[in-house]
Structure 1
Amino acid sequence: MDLLAALSSQPVLTLPAFLFVLTVVVFFHELGHFAVARWCGVNVEAFSIGFGRELIGFNDRKGTRWKLCLIPLGGYVKFSGDENAASVPDHEKVAAMSEAQRAGAFAAKPVWQRAAVVAAGPVANFILAIVIFAFIFGAFGRVVSTPLVGEVQPESAAAEAGLQPGDLITAVNGTPIETFAELQRIVSVSAGVALRLEIERQGQLTDLTVTPQLRELRDDFGNVQRIGLLGVSRTVQEGDRIQKTYGPVEAVKEGVNETWFVMVRTVEYIGKVIRGHEPADQLGGPIRIAEVAGQVATLGFIPLLQLAAVLSVSIGLLNLMPVPMLDGGHLVYYAAEAVRGRPLSEKAQEFGFRIGLTLVLMLMVFATWNDLSRLVSRWLPA
């Protein structure tokens, strides 16, 4: 499929691609909560994909209502004794339960079990990403190129540092690299950071220090990314490109490495935004996810799976933020309970949940504003 045909099919693919990616990620996140809750003996009242009015559902043999709801922007697992879908405990309801009922209430479980149930959602997201990446590596392998410099752009960071065509880059900051993709990954997140390159030139080993320059790149879909660039291209010599295959164990290892890379890069970007070193205009919401899903879907099902893996990591990390209403906020409460030997007061928890709800809503509004601003700037004439 050429690019023109892909672009023309994008609007048709956007909604189904968005629903597929988000549903898979949300389902496995909630499945993590559900599985560990069942293992801990918690009664699960509902397992929902989406919010709002129920479209279709059924009850399993243990009384859990599995349902698909109208608004497909997330999901939840509601436990016995919860006040709402955010797992805010209903202490009056729990107090009124019989001893047998209280045994299955989430709020009545030991703090370590509650923490395990909450942490299981993000962990399930990371496991899903590893499985997807491992499947792709195991089934298809990947084509790699040696980190051999083919061309150096004039007035680039590489030219200023003295890199030359034919240089083989063997390590960056003491870390050995084997492929050009590894070099690109390190450089892309290192704009303005001095890197020590170990190179092999005409059989001799030498070191060079280079500082990648921050550049804006626009892809074929019109998306703009700000990344670090050296200003070199890979060699196109015969035999430089190699098709690598992976056995099951190697594929899982590569899946872990890929997931870790996405995690590190995401955390680094958020850290730079907080410190004011990066603008926050790359943060997107559902509109942005739908747009990217539609674009990626034109490239095929495997790229769409890769997007699902990346999104799964992002959702896992987002939920681990120490904000009440999110999984990370619950974990902070449980850590405080473990240290104090008793839970925080109901008033303190309610106050925290209100702050958390406000922060989450502010983040959603900000992300949506970014999405709409991006669309307006792209489609309206200057």
Structure 2
Amino acid sequence: MNTVIAIIIILGALIFFHELGHLLLAKRAGILCREFAIGFGPKVFAFKKGETVYTIRLLPLGGFVRMAGEDPEGIELKAGHRVGLIFNHANEVEKIIVNHRDKYPVQKTITIEKADLERDLYLTGFENEDTGSSTYQVKEDALFVADHQEMQIAPYNRQFGSKTIMQRTLAIFAGPAMNFLLAFVILVAFSLMQGIPTNESRLGTLQEGAAADKAGLLKGDKIIAVQGEKMDDWKELVSVIQQNPGEKLMFTINRGGEERVVPVTLGTRKGPEDKNEGFIGAHPFTESSFAGSLQYGAKQTWFMTTAIFTGLGQLVTGQHGIDQLSGPLGIYEYTDQAAKAGVYMLLQWAAILSINLGIFNLLPLPALDGGRLLFLGVEALRGKPIDPQKEGMVHFIGFAFLMLLMLVVTWNDIQKIFLG
């Protein structure tokens, strides 16, 4: 159960901040954002604030920000439609009642002759066949009311496609960028709580009952030499220890300015390729500072990002197979392991997942943010947008491909976890 809670919190946070990036930059550009959703499928919870409906949906496998103009509008007024109108004090139409007109305080009911709710914002129509046509000005934020549900109209200047290429690019890129920023914040918080590992050959926290603890070593002891061989840094100390599993070695230490020699019988554990390696059960010494934590967060974010890109490159070049990829089951398994290892490991795993989500969304594949950015780049080169129907078809095919990929990696997870 702890693992399920950890996954809900971690994935919920990653998706929330990703979509929040889209929302903030879209609103900054003046785009009407109809919905901010966490998950897909039926709505579980919803509330409206300002122009946007905020929802939590049943399937927590992603999220979206529904921007006006990205998808066909659900309501389109055509000649012959009979609608009810409600006006404000300036005699502008503020609500257009599409059906169930008897349930609302309609001030006029007209049959539509012409309607422009994108640019000039007007309705032209007649109340009955014996009266002439009249034209009514429509508020920029007027509402459609259909089946007792309200939906704000979307003038062209509030639609995604009306904005400059730079504004649209920033609105799309902000999602993945938010994941990198979140990873950085997590790693800074991790280093503030845990401390920043130093590379000096000084012992940090000791594992109770392990070799260092049994030998009487203490946190803060500086290892000057092992078997008379000088230790210059932590990496060198770890290398010597790993090469001598089960051996009794003489450690020369400095404790409070006093040197002493302590015999340590190393423990043994399985290392890479199932080879035995030595260990003493000690973490590197850590120090705390806000500036150092910022630097640590930036370095670790960069290190994790480059490591993931390297792995992707090896996947593309065939050095690694697709069986190396993991899906939802793999994420559950790794989260379970991280949760059992403690909160600090869970924080690092959350940072890795956040960077993975950011990079995955930047891949130039249809249906992903990277694919949308690619279309914007093509538009910039052509000087005109691509046909929305053609772009929509490409995104649909890309989405189908991603679903197929999800099935493949899920099968990989099943084989590794249950059949391996």
Same fold (TM over 0.5): yes
Q: 2:37 aligned with 1:69, yes or no?
A: no
Which of the residues 159, 170, 174 maps onto 1:105? Answer: 159
Which residue identity is paired with 1:334? L
Greater per-residue helix proportion:
1
Which residue identity is paired with 1:280? I
How far has the Cα of 1:308 moved from its partner? 1.2
Aligned to 1:117: 171
Higher relative contact order (CA 8 A, sep 6+): 1
CA distance in structure 1 between the aligned counterparts of 2:350 and 2:30, rounded to whole angstroms: 31
2:196 and 2:292 in contact (8 A); partners too: no
2:196 and 2:296 in contact (8 A); partners too: no
How far has the Cα of 1:295 moved from its partner? 2.2
Q: 2:396 aligned with 1:354, yes or no?
A: yes
How far has the Cα of 1:76 moved from its partner? 0.8
Question: Secondary structure of the residue that 2:70 maps to in structure 1?
Answer: coil
Question: Which runs of no fewer than 5 residues in structure 1 stay unpaired?
Answer: 1-11, 84-88, 149-163, 171-177, 185-216, 220-226
* Higher CA-based Rg: 2
CA distance in structure 1 between the aligned counterparts of 2:284 and 2:418, rounded to whole angstroms: 42
CA distance in structure 2 between the aligned counterparts of 1:272 and 1:166, rounded to whole angstroms: 42
2:270 and 2:276 in contact (8 A); partners too: no
Q: 2:235 aligned with 1:180, yes or no?
A: yes
Which residue identity is paired with 1:288? G
How far has the Cα of 1:348 moved from its partner? 3.3
Which residue identity is paired with 2:160? F
Q: How has the CA–CA distance of structure 1 residues 296 and 340 changed in structure 2, closer, same or farther, with 3 Å as cutoff?
A: same
Greater per-residue strand proportion:
2
Aligned to 2:317: 275
How far has the Cα of 1:361 moved from its partner? 1.4
How far has the Cα of 1:259 moved from its partner? 0.9
Which residue identity is paired with 1:64? T
TM-score by length of 2: 0.63
Which of the residues 22, 30, 46 maps onto 2:11? Answer: 22
2:194 and 2:344 in contact (8 A); partners too: no
Q: How has the CA–CA distance of structure 1 residues 297 and 108 changed in structure 2, closer, same or farther, with 3 Å as cutoff?
A: same
How far has the Cα of 1:301 moved from its partner? 2.6
Q: 2:330 aligned with 1:288, yes or no?
A: yes
CA distance in structure 2 between the aligned counterparts of 1:264 and 1:122, rounded to whole angstroms: 15
How far has the Cα of 1:49 moved from its partner? 0.8
TM-score by length of 1: 0.69
1:17 and 1:297 in contact (8 A); partners too: yes
CA distance in structure 1 between the aligned counterparts of 2:393 and 2:27, rounded to whole angstroms: 29
CA distance in structure 1 between the aligned counterparts of 2:230 and 2:275, rounded to whole angstroms: 14
CA distance in structure 2 between the aligned counterparts of 1:338 and 1:260, rounded to whole angstroms: 29
Aligned to 1:316: 358
CA distance in structure 2 between the aligned counterparts of 1:147 and 1:359, rounded to whole angstroms: 50
Written as runs of structure 1 = structure 2, the 5 A alignment for 1:35-50 is 35-50=24-39
How far has the Cα of 1:145 moved from its partner? 5.2
How far has the Cα of 1:39 moved from its partner? 1.1
How far has the Cα of 1:48 moved from its partner? 0.8
How far has the Cα of 1:169 moved from its partner? 9.1
Aligned to 2:342: 300
Q: How has the CA–CA distance of structure 1 residues 261 and 165 changed in structure 2, closer, same or farther, with 3 Å as cutoff?
A: farther
Written as runs of structure 1 = structure 2, the 5 A alignment for 1:208-357 is 242-357=284-399
2:19 and 2:36 in contact (8 A); partners too: yes
Alpha-carbon RMSD: 3.4
How far has the Cα of 1:218 moved from its partner? 8.0
How far has the Cα of 1:287 moved from its partner? 1.3
| Residues 13-68 of structure 1: per-residue CA shift (max 9 Å, x gap) | 221111111101101100111111111111111111111111111101x2211111
Question: Which runs of no fewer than 5 residues in structure 2 stay unpaired?
Answer: 77-114, 120-139, 141-154, 203-225, 240-268
How far has the Cα of 1:281 moved from its partner? 2.2
